[in-house]
């Protein structure tokens, strides 16, 4: 069986999707660094959909919100003197380094140098407008006293969020005057690989990589076994093993009653009500 290589357009779109997924989940990853790993389902970092549906979700230990943190935390990797989740910290450091390195390499390959001109006295002057163009990626600089002594972080100072946006533009070959040359196919292929690996790393750290876990509470409608699934992209799904015999008011998906999105709120309410009835009987 032969496989067909993806077209450049498909490759570009997939890279853009992966980069978008990384930056949209970046705030969640930063928040996860400051919390101990948990085995609960759905993972704390996955429960943002409940917030979006108007329900409150708090950590009982510290009363801090546990939903998505995009817009609430600075989207930059800060110093963490005592991280509580080393896996999340390692993932963040790895992804940040990979995307920054890709930006540096791409800028050297496809970005036009800053325009300059020679004055009457032979002095070289840079075009200030071109140098400060917001679309330009600035490489970090080093002092003359030796390697590893960064004098300026360049565009890295804007954090991973901006790096992902900038790489997305290069993947899609977005035009900005003559600042960028088209991204060569081999470079696009390498960028797509970096973006895909970054997304897998983030989603694995956030337990959004297709895990399954058997829930302790049975189905409120048929007492069948409920199984929680996390999927790439962050949307959790719960399925009931009973099949068509389950009377839950949700559709059948591959022969199983399935809850997703807003339907999960109804499931949580029914599960809590069932627990209360059991406690009253006891």
Q: Each residue of 56-86: pLDDT tens digit?
A: 444 444 444 444 444 334 445 555 556 778 8
The pLDDT confidence band at residue 154, using thresholds 50, 70 and 90, is very high
Q: Using an 8 Å Cβ cutoff, are 42 and 236 in contact?
A: yes
Enter the tokens of residue 195.
Answer: 């973006």
Report in angstroms the alpha-carbon separations of 268 from 41, 55, 91, 117. 12, 11, 31, 67
Top-ranked range on mean pLDDT: pick from 212-216, 247-251, 261-265: 247-251
**What is the share, in percent, of the chain residues with pLDDT greater than 70?**
78
**For residue 8, how far is the Cα from the chain centroid?**
23
* Res 210: pLDDT: 76
As to burial, measured by CB atoms within 10 angstroms (0-12 exposed, 13-18 middle, 19+ buried), residue 95 is buried
* Res 229: pLDDT: 86
Each residue's pLDDT tens digit, 198-239: 999 999 898 887 778 889 889 999 999 999 887 766 578 899
The pLDDT confidence band at residue 248, using thresholds 50, 70 and 90, is very high
* Res 207: pLDDT: 82
* Res 249: pLDDT: 94
For residue 196, is pLDDT > 50?
A: yes
* Res 80: pLDDT: 55
Return the beta strands (E) in the chain as ranges: 116-118, 124-126, 141-142, 150-152, 212-214, 226-229, 237-240, 252-253, 256-260
Mean pLDDT of the chain: 83
Higher pLDDT, 34 or 144: 34
* Res 150: pLDDT: 53
Higher pLDDT, 145 or 176: 176
* Res 246: pLDDT: 96
Mean pLDDT over 140-146 rounds to: 68
Mean pLDDT over 110-125 rounds to: 84
* Res 2: pLDDT: 58
* Res 59: pLDDT: 44
Which pTM value belongs to this model? Answer: 0.70
Closest C-alpha among 69, 46, 44 to residue 59: 44
* Res 22: pLDDT: 95
């Amino acid at each position: 069986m032969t496989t067909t290589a993806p077209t450049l357009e498909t490759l570009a779109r997939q890279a853009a999707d992966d980069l978008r997924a990384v930056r949209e989940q970046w705030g969640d990853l930063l928040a996860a660094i400051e919390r101990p790993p948990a085995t609960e389902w759905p993972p704390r970092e996955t429960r943002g959909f409940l917030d979006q549906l108007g329900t409150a979700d708090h950590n009982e230990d510290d009363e801090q919100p546990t939903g998505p943190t995009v817009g609430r935390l600075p989207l930059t990797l800060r110093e963490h003197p005592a991280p509580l989740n080393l896996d999340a910290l390692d993932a963040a450091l790895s992804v940040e380094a990979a995307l920054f390195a890709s930006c540096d390499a791409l800028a050297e390959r496809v970005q036009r140098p800053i325009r300059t001109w020679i004055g009457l006295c032979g002095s070289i002057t840079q075009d200030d407008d071109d140098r400060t163009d917001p679309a330009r990626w600035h490489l970090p600089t080093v002092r003359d006293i030796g390697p590893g002594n960064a004098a300026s972080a360049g565009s890295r100072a804007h954090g991973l969020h901006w790096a992902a946006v900038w790489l997305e533009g290069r993947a899609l070959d977005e035009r900005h005057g003559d600042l960028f040359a088209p991204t060569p196919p081999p470079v696009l292929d390498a960028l797509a690989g970096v973006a895909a690996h970054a997304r897998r790393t983030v989603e694995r750290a956030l337990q959004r990589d297709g895990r399954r876990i058997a829930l302790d509470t049975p189905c409120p409608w048929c007492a069948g076994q409920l199984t929680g699934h996390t999927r790439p992209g962050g949307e959790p799904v719960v399925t009931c093993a009973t099949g068509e015999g389950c009377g839950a008011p949700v559709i059948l998906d591959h022969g199983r009653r399935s809850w997703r999105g807003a339907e999960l709120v109804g499931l949580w309410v029914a599960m809590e009500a069932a627990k209360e009835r059991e406690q009253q009987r006891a």
